[in-house]
Structure 1
Amino acid sequence: MITLDTGRRAAAAAAADRLSAALITPPAVDYGDDYSPRSPRWHDQSLSKGAAGVAILHGLRAQHGLADPAPVHAWLASAARDDLSAGPPSAGQVGAGLWFGAPAVAFALHTAAPGAYPHDMAALDASVAQLVETRLAAAHDRIDAGQRPSQYEFDLTRGLTGLGAYLLHRDPGGHLVRRVVAYLVRLTEPVDADDEAGPGAPGWWTRDSSAHDRDPAFAQGEANFGVAHGIPGPLAFLALALRHGVVVDGQEAALDRICRWLENWRQQGPAGPWWPERITVHELHAHRTRQDRPLRPSWCYGTPGLARAQQLAALALNDPVRQAAAEDAFARCLCDPAQQGSLTDPALCHGRAGLLATTWHAAADASTPALAIHIPRLLDQLLDDARHTPSEALPGLIEGTAGIALTLHTLATGISPGWSACLLLT
């Protein structure tokens, strides 16, 4: 049980009230005839930057008796005012996934207003199911052909891990979530690909890399260590599925396979264990990373998100040794002034809200109070951020004000009913 003093809870509640009040009404914006892929009009159907994420904030506050439900419906309407993206990635289109398009709006509707729009919910569920079927077929065809995956095949934001997280949140007993788990088990197995990465590369070695544009060393792909885009996301999802009773052949072996990979790439520094953000093919073959120190301790990249994923895996596997190692890495990161000082962003994805939310959830499952003791300090830092959040900040959940407000609301109330599933924290 995590306890906070009355004063801090009250301060968190007041800050959440203030930030939420600034997001009562969706902005009246005319995007004209700009329907290009980069048009800001598409932000509305995003958990990251737009209306779908804001609806979750207002919905949960209304469910807890702290706000009027009217803003929930206004933001949901804003999220669905344009045609929802519902297809897989294609040329010029990144495709729909948990954080964008029909799955994002489905997650928002189910979380913010459960039971309120049954016909819309049914249509969204059907759209997500069709998308999952299409993505699973393509993924298995790719594996059968001995090819490497793209990042968006399996990641949390647009890939099958995120779609699986939605299904686990919405329908944990359904057949589709079991099929996603079975696919992710296959993902952890080696691929017989004829490329520079070679047979020693893991099955999740991607042929693409978001770092390629700024570093040609990633031309042959990468192994990504971030929760949003790398293998910690599938690790957390497979563990959460197992803890929810969703079990398929090879699942525990897949969890162990990923854990051993992360253990092999764990670095040891003066402030404790850490992991690289990503590795190149040359680093893979050299068994050595160019990164010489831990970077920012965020949920997305950094020790906190990685440690939470490994903690979840240890809990699912009933492995107290791995659980202790994950929690020790997390706690030592929280004690390191250099890592803590590198956070400059207040948001969930890369900032202090994400660090606090990750710490809070991990502390609730921890075997010692070594994580919980940091929560008051982390909350104080986020409260200071909240006092200086500009009115023009992004409104969204993952990257914006709604995520900061919802984290503060969670700390004030002591409950986290479902929203953190989009980060694979629960």
Structure 2
Amino acid sequence: MAVLYTCVVIEYSVLILKKKNLFYLFLMKLQKLKNIGMVVININNIKKILENKITFLSDIEKATYIIENQSEYWDPYTLSHGYPGIILFLSASEKVFHKDLEKVIHQYIRKLGPYLESGIDGFSLFSGLSGIGFALDIASDKQYSYQSILEQIDNLLVQYVFDFLNNDALEVTPTNYDIIQGFSGIGRYLLNRISYNYNAKKALKHILNYFKTIHYSKDNWLVSNEHQFLDIDKQNFPSGNINLGLAHGILGPLSLTALSKMNGIEIEGHEEFLQDFTSFLLKPEFKNNNEWFDRYDILENYIPNYSVRNGWCYGDTGIMNTLLLSGKALNNEGLIKMSKNILINIIDKNNDDLISPTFCHGLASHLTIIHQANKFFNLSQVSTYIDTIVRKIISHYSEESSFMFQDIEYSYGQKIYKNKVGILEGELGVLLALLDYIDTQNQSRKNWKNMFLIT
């Protein structure tokens, strides 16, 4: 009996302990939900945040003063960090909220005038002339306004494309082919202009042929050691690497090749090239632990000890979106299914390394890419996950600050908070992601997501 009594006491104690543990786990779950801003998503609250920013930007003199004097990394004429980003946000807001913001938008466009008159340094999408053209084209009212200046920009870009790419000695470097600085970004702008400028179509085809030449060359997309951006990369990749990102890697040219076909622009052997290029991305050595590398060491000696963040610049989110574009362009159900499986794998992770709400490597791009993909797949579990990401983003919102969302990065183990306005790393990218989240309209029209080659 004593033994039986002891067993009963032990079992009862274990039961109590289990209940305590369950209660503890429940409390931890509540705390976790609290930590990510677990509030019921109220679309009206999101709209209020967006409308407050519209009101702020509509007071042009005050907004300009605060932005120019308090924003870090402000670069006035660039799409990534300047006035073109404001123009894109207001243009998108005008369509979603059915507001007449034409006069406000025009005032910000006028601020670009002095820079255009004195000459823009470079032709790139994120920091050059095509970025200004991109913003003006999106803001153009049914393609009637700003056409004169757009035609001038188009002509300069077309001339640049032919002059630059007629050089047979071109080296394979991200600054030549990527979205940020290279021809993937310029090509995406030209794709938006093909209906209004025949030469834009010719220049775009020239870019696609350039990509095709790289792909079938001896070293194809290998970026040599001397063309690595950072000294640490020169150490890690002595014989070079293949960049597998969307911002600086092969996903940019591949996405543009797919998008061009989807829009009826093809070069000789386009479909075969797109198939081969997509197959190249799927090489098994480009993956580690079922995730794509950000950069593949050609010597296969360097294996990073970190997990790649699933934002825009790198990560499986970009891989997923690019494969979806290729699948649609080629009408290939296998690629589409693969994209779907990657999407499910992404949402099964916690993605807690996305510490910043901003776009480049943060939650805003994570939300936008997954939300865009789920418009096609329409998976309920993805919709639930998207709501969780929105809550995380909203938890970073500051009502008191002139900058509603800050960019966050780690530096020597400490979180560093920076006030930035621009689309790429600042609050505008976050606000555009939230605007896209609440937008229920058909977005087959040209839109800001084109600049990231998400669409």
TM class, shorter-length: 0.7 to 0.9
1:183 equivalent to 2:207? Answer: yes
Q: For residues 219 and 343 of structure 1, what CA distance do their matches in structure 2 show?
A: 30
Matched, 1:23 2:43: no
Whether contact under 8 Å (1:181, 1:238) holds in the other structure is no
Asked if residue 352 in structure 1 is aligned to residue 363 in structure 2, the reply is: yes
What code does the residue aligned with 2:201 have? Answer: V
Q: What is the aligned partner in structure 1 of residue 291 from structure 2?
A: 274
Q: Residue type matched to 1:277 in 2?
A: D
Aligned: 1:284 with 2:298: yes
Matched, 1:13 2:47: yes
Percentage identity across paired residues of the two chains: 20
Structure number, greater radius of gyration? 2
Q: Which amino acid aligns with 1:419?
A: W
Higher helix share: 2
Change over 3 Å in CA distance of 1:319–1:192 after alignment to 2: closer
Say how many residue pairs are matched. 389
* 2: CA distance, partners of 1:151 / 1:85: 28
Higher RCO structure, 1 or 2 (CA under 8 Å, sep 6+): 1
- Per the alignment, residue 106 of structure 1 pairs with 133
CA-atom RMSD, angstroms?
Answer: 3.1
Is 1:50 matched up with 2:82?
Answer: yes
The two structures have a TM-score, normalised by structure 2, of 0.76
Where do residues 87-98 of structure 1 align in structure 2 (5 Å cutoff)? 95-98=122-125
- The 8 Å contact of residues 165 and 421 in structure 1, kept in 2 or not, is answered as yes
Q: Secondary structure at the residue paired with 1:55?
A: helix
Task: Report the 3-state secondary structure (helix = DSSP H, G, I; strand = E; otherwise coil) of the residue aligned with 1:46.
Answer: coil
What is the letter of the counterpart of residue 240 of structure 1?
Answer: L
Q: Secondary structure at the match of 1:161?
A: helix
The aligned counterpart of 2:251 is 232
Residues 11-410 of structure 1 mapped to structure 2, 5 A cutoff:
11-24=45-58, 25=60, 26-28=63-65, 43-63=75-95, 64-66=97-99, 68-83=101-116, 95-114=122-141, 118=145, 120-142=146-168, 145=169, 147-172=170-195, 174-189=198-213, 199=218, 201-203=219-221, 205=223, 208-212=227-231, 215-218=234-237, 220-264=239-283, 265-269=285-289, 273-279=290-296, 283-286=297-300, 290-337=303-350, 340-366=351-377, 368-369=379-380, 371-387=382-398, 390-392=401-403, 393-410=419-436
- Contact conserved, 1:188 with 1:254, CA < 8 A, in 2? yes
**CA deviation vs aligned residue, 1:321-370 (integer Å, no higher than 9, x gap):** 11111221122122112xx1001111121111111111111111237555
Give secondary structure in 1 for the equivalent of 2:438: helix
Please tell me whether the aligned partners of residues 87 and 109 of structure 2 are also in contact (alpha carbons under 8 angstroms): yes
Change (3 A) 1:133 1:150: farther
C-alpha deviation, 1:212, in angstroms: 3.2
Q: CA offsets per residue over residues 3-61 of structure 1, 9 Å max, x none?
A: xxx954323222222333343334238999xxxxxx967x1111211111011111222
**Per-residue deviation, 1:396:** 1.6
Q: State how far apart, in whole Å, the 2-side matches of 1:395 and 1:156 are.
A: 20
Can you give the 5+ residue segments of structure 1 that lack an aligned partner in the other structure? 1-5, 33-38, 88-92, 194-198
Alpha-carbon contact 1:298-1:352 (below 8 Å) kept: yes
Q: 2:448 aligns with which of 419, 423, 426?
A: 419
- Quickly say closer, same or farther: Cα 1:124–1:329, change in 2 above 3 A: same
Give the structure-1-normalised TM-score.
0.81
The Cα shift of 1:73 comes to: 2.0
Q: Is the 8 A contact 1:224 1:278 kept in 2?
A: yes
1:341 is paired with a residue of what secondary structure?
Answer: coil
Q: Is contact 1:140-1:183 (8 Å) kept?
A: no
